[in-house]
Structure 1
């Protein structure tokens, strides 16, 4: 089974003036830490909301020219037994490169197996080829007889 795992990271950024600047720096900083070993990890802005009213907040919390930015890191984990196994692998792989950055599993989604439909289509195609061959051969024999 293959799974898509989304991990939330709290990335500290220093000496910034705006939330947008903090997000850009956090994405760049995270990309530098992950690359080249984990260049397949997608980095997106995280989503935050007020715990009391549910209002959407910016992904960066800014105070005294320092910021804590919520990022979502998404990766695909292949050949796992369970969702928990995929979460442990993703957390370990990402956590080894993002030292001192807290991580939390946000979402684990099983990826449908694409091999099964392809095999079924291949079987149908072979059956169609066989039927076509049977139809062509008698006509070919008629041409030879003429």
Structure 2
């Protein structure tokens, strides 16, 4: 399963006069910390709202020429078992590069590629067919064990011949 994970980061910015300037600097600063290792992480302005009235606020809180900017970092995590696993991987990968910046997972969305699903279904059906084909012959004790014993025999037989030649 593949997941798209959105993580909120609180990025401190110093010596700024406006919220727009703080957002631009925070995006640049975050991009520098993530690149080149995580250049595939999308950086967007975060969304903040007033907890009491629900009014939408700017992504930067500005006080005394310093700012705390809310950014949303979006990363796609591949081959995970469940959504919690994707969240842990995203936090770890991003958190290793953004030292001392708090992170919170906002959203986890499963990504379904129809082509990938079809390939996975075909592969899983082939895998499930192979063991079921071998199972009846092994259970029945049939002398025609097919290619599986021949394949194993190719690996074992030369070693056995060497032992016979040494005796």
> Could you state the TM-score of these two structures normalised by the residue count of structure 2?
0.69
Give unpaired runs (5+ residues) of structure 2.
Answer: 120-167
Q: Does 1:111 align with 2:111?
A: yes
Partners of 2:78 and 2:117 in 1: CA distance: 19
Partners of 2:105 and 2:35 in 1: CA distance: 21
Partners of 1:114 and 1:76 in 2: CA distance: 17
Give the 3-state SS of the residue equivalent to 1:40 in structure 2: coil
Higher relative contact order (CA 8 A, sep 6+): 1
Structure 1 segment 85-100 matched on structure 2, within 5 A = 85-100=85-100
Once superposed, what is the RMSD of the aligned Cα atoms?
1.2
**Bigger radius of gyration, 1 or 2?**
2
Q: 1:102 aligns to what? A: 102
> Could you state the TM-score of these two structures normalised by the residue count of structure 1?
0.79
Partners of 1:35 and 1:46 in 2: CA distance: 20
Count of equivalent residues: 119
- Structure 1 runs of 4+ off > 2 angstroms? 116-119
C-alpha offsets along residues 22-80 of structure 1, whole Å, 9 cap, x if unaligned?
A: 00000000000000000000000000000000000000000000000000000000000
C-alpha offsets along residues 64-99 of structure 1, whole Å, 9 cap, x if unaligned?
A: 000000000000000000000000000000000000
More helix, by proportion:
2
